[in-house]
C-alpha cells in the first residue's frame, strides 16, 4: 500500500471513530469585558473537545452590526457554523432554508425536558430545533452605586418612579450624574421598555409593545410613559450620545453616576471587575416592575454546513451550549441565569437568585414579558422602526409627547 493510500485509510478510520475534530466558526457580539470572558468559556469548552474555534466577533452592543456582517456572509454562500441570533429572527433565517436541523442533538441531550416550553418553541422551526439557547437575561433592572446613593443621602433603591426622581434630584444636587446612559438606539429602547412596563404594567406592555395594538400605543398610559421617559433623559450627562453601554456601567462602578437602566449583562461587567453585589453595586427591578420580568434569551442558530468535521464540531457546540457545566460557568460570568431547567443556583449571587425566582413567579402570574429592545417580541423590521422612533424622541426635545406617540404608533405598523 502506497503512503497516500495509507494516509487516506487512516483518515477514514479516524473520521468513522466519531472522534472527528473540526473547525467551528461562531459569530457573536460579546466584546465587552464581561461578555468576552463569558464567550471565552465556550471557546475553552470546544477546544477541550479537540475542535478549532474561529472567533467571529463583531463589536457593537445589541448586535445590529453583527447582523449586518452575518447577512453578507450567508448571502455569499459562506455562513459561519453558528451565529448569535434570537427570537423571531430565528424563524426568518429558518424560512430561508439555511439553518441546520439540530434534532439529533436535542433528542440525545433531552432538550425538550430541559427547557421552558416558551423557550423551546422559539428555538424550533416547524417543530425542528434550529438553535441552541444560552441563557435568560432579565432586562428590567436598575443598577446603582451604593457609594453615590450614600453621598447623596438616598436611603434605598427606588421602587416607584416618584422615588426614582426624588433620588435623582438628590444625586444631581450632590454634583453627580443621576443616570449613566449610552446614547445608542438599542440602549434608549432598553430604558423605554422598562418605563412602559413600570408605568403601564405587564398587560399594557404586552398590548402596546408586543401586540402593537394601536389603541394602547395611542393611550394616556403611553403618553405618561413618554413623559416619564423624557424626564429620565434630563438626568443624563451631555456626553451620553454614542457612549457604549459598558462605559455607562463603568460610570456607576467608579461612583461617577448613581443609576443605569440596563439588562443584567451589566452585572457581567461588575463581576469581571471583581465587584460584589450588595457591597460594590446594587441591583433592583426597574421602578414599578418588581412583579414583572422582561426576558431576553440569547441563542445560537446553526447553519447548514458541507464538511463532515465541521458538522461534528457544530453538533458538539450545540450540545456544549445546553450542557449543565456550560450553563453554570457561562451564566456566572455573563450576569444572566441558566436557561436549562433544574440547574443548582447555589454558586450564583443574590441578583441572579432574585432573577431566577422572579422568572418562575412571573411565568405563573403573567408578569413574564419578552424584551422588544432585544429581539424577543416583534419582527426585526418592526423592532428597528420602533427603535428609531423611540430614539428620535429621546434625542430631540423638540418632538412633543403627542408627536412622539404618533411616530411610535406609525413605526409599529412596519411589516
Ligand atoms: C443583548 C444581548 C446580551 C448583551 C447585550 C449587550 O442584545 O442579548 O447578551 O450582549 O445585547 O451587547
**Closest Cα to atom 6 of ligand 1:** 61
What pLDDT does 9 receive? 59
- Tell me, using a 6 A CB cutoff, whether residue 299 lines ligand 1: no
| CB-ligand 1 contact for 87 (6 Å cutoff) | no
**pLDDT tens, position by position, 244-263:** 999 999 999 999 999 999 99
Ligand 1 contact, 61 CB (< 6 A): yes
Q: Which residues contact 195 (CB under 8 A, 6 or more apart)?
A: 161, 225, 228, 229, 232, 286
Domain ranges of the chain: 3-137+296-353, 141-294+373-411
Please name the residue whose Cα sits nearest to atom 11 of ligand 1: 62
Measured from the CA of 296, which atom of ligand 1 is nearest?
8
Angle, in degrees to the nearest 10, between helices 185-205 and 161-173: 150
pTM for the structure as a whole:
0.93
The cell for 149 is 446613593
Q: Domain 3-137+296-353: what homologous superfamily?
A: Periplasmic binding protein-like II (3.40.190.10)
Residue 257 and residue 251 in contact, taking contact as beta carbons nearer than 8 Å: yes
**Which grid cell sits at 62?**
445589541
- Of 184, 265, 299, 339, the one to substitute when testing ligand 1's pocket (max ligand atoms within 8 A of C-beta) is 265
Q: For the segment 332-371, what is each residue's pLDDT rounded down to a tens digit? A: 999 999 999 999 999 999 999 999 999 999 999 999 999 9
CB 370 within 8 A of CB 376: yes
Question: Ligand 1: does its nearest atom lie under 6 Å from the Cβ of 35?
Answer: yes
Helix, coil or strand: residue 107: helix
Quick check: helix, strand or coil at residue 82?
A: strand
Name beta bridge partners: 24.
53
End-to-end CA distance of the chain: 63
CA distance linking residue 79 with residue 293, whole number of Å: 34
SS3 300: strand
CATH code given to domain 141-294+373-411: 3.40.190.10
* Residue stretches of the chain with pLDDT short of 70: 1, 3-19
303 in contact with ligand 1, CB cutoff 6 A: no
Atom 2 of ligand 1: nearest residue by CA position: 62
The atom of ligand 1 lying closest to the CA of 86 is 8
Whole-number Å distance, alpha carbon 104 to ligand 1 midpoint, is 28
* Mutate-to-test residue for ligand 1 from 61, 138, 186, highest number of ligand atoms within 8 A of CB: 61
Output the CA–CA distances (angstroms, integers) from residue 209 to 84, 92, 197, 205, 223, in the order listed.
23, 20, 10, 6, 14
Q: Is it true that 3-137+296-353 and 141-294+373-411 share their CATH fold? A: yes
In this predicted model, what pLDDT tens digit does every residue of 103-118 receive, in sequence order?
999 999 999 999 999 8
Query: Which cell numbers hold the place of 172?
Result: 444631581
Instruction: Please tell me the residue having the least CA distance from ligand 1 atom 12.
Output: 61
Residue 381 makes CB contacts below 8 A (sequence gap 6+) with: 414, 415
C-alpha cell at 92: 426568518
DSSP-assigned beta bridge partners for residue 285:
141
> Among the atoms of ligand 1, which is closest to the Cα of residue 263?
5
CA of 38 to the centre of ligand 1 (A): 12
Q: Is the C-beta atom of 62 inside 6 A of ligand 1?
A: yes
- Which atom belonging to ligand 1 lies closest to the Cα atom of 245? 6
Amino acid at each position: 500500500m502506497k503512503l497516500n493510500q495509507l494516509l487516506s485509510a487512516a483518515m477514514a478510520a479516524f473520521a468513522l471513530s466519531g472522534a472527528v475534530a473540526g473547525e467551528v466558526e461562531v459569530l457573536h457580539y460579546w466584546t465587552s469585558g464581561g461578555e468576552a470572558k463569558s464567550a471565552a468559556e465556550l471557546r475553552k469548552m470546544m477546544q477541550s473537545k479537540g475542535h478549532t474555534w474561529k472567533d467571529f466577533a463583531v463589536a457593537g452592543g445589541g448586535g445590529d452590526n453583527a447582523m449586518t456582517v452575518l447577512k453578507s456572509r450567508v448571502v455569499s454562500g459562506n455562513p459561519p457554523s453558528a451565529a448569535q441570533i434570537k427570537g423571531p429572527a430565528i424563524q426568518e433565517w429558518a424560512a430561508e432554508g439555511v439553518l441546520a436541523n439540530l434534532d439529533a442533538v436535542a433528542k440525545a441531550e433531552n432538550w425538550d425536558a430541559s427547557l421552558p416550553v416558551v423557550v423551546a418553541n422559539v428555538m424550533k422551526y416547524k417543530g425542528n430545533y434550529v438553535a441552541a439557547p444560552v441563557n435568560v437575561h432579565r432586562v428590567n433592572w436598575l443598577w446603582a452605586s451604593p457609594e453615590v446613593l450614600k453621598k447623596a443621602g438616598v436611603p434605598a433603591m427606588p421602587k416607584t418612579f416618584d422615588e426614582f426622581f426624588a433620588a435623582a434630584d438628590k444625586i444631581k444636587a450632590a454634583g453627580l450624574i443621576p443616570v449613566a446612559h449610552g446614547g445608542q438606539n438599542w440602549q434608549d429602547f432598553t430604558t423605554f421598555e422598562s418605563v412602559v412596563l413600570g408605568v403601564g404594567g405587564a398587560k399594557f406592555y404586552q398590548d402596546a409593545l408586543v401586540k402593537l395594538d394601536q389603541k394602547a400605543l395611542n393611550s394616556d398610559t403611553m403618553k405618561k410613559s413618554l413623559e416619564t421617559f423624557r424626564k429620565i433623559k434630563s438626568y443624563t450627562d451631555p456626553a451620553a450620545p454614542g457612549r457604549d453601554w459598558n462605559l455607562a456601567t463603568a460610570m456607576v462602578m467608579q461612583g461617577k453616576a448613581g443609576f443605569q437602566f440596563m439588562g443584567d449583562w451589566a452585572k457581567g461587567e461588575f463581576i469581571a471587575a471583581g465587584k460584589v453585589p450588595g457591597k460594590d453595586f446594587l441591583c433592583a427591578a426597574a421602578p414599578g416592575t418588581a412583579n414583572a420580568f422582561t426576558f431576553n434569551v440569547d441563542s445560537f442558530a446553526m447553519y447548514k454546513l458541507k464538511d463532515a468535521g465541521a458538522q461534528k464540531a457544530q453538533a458538539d457546540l450545540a450540545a456544549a451550549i445546553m450542557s449543565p457545566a456550560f450553563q453554570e460557568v457561562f451564566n456566572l460570568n455573563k450576569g444572566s441565569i441558566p436557561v436549562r431547567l433544574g440547574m443548582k443556583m447555589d454558586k450564583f449571587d443574590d441578583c441572579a437568585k432574585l432573577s431566577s425566582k422572579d422568572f418562575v413567579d412571573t411565568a405563573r402570574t403573567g408578569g413574564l414579558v419578552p424584551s422588544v429592545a432585544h429581539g424577543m417580541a416583534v419582527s426585526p423590521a418592526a423592532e428597528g422602526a420602533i427603535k428609531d422612533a423611540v430614539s428620535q424622541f429621546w434625542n430631540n426635545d423638540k418632538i412633543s409627547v403627542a408627536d412622539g406617540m404618533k411616530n411610535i404608533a406609525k413605526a409599529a405598523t412596519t411589516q
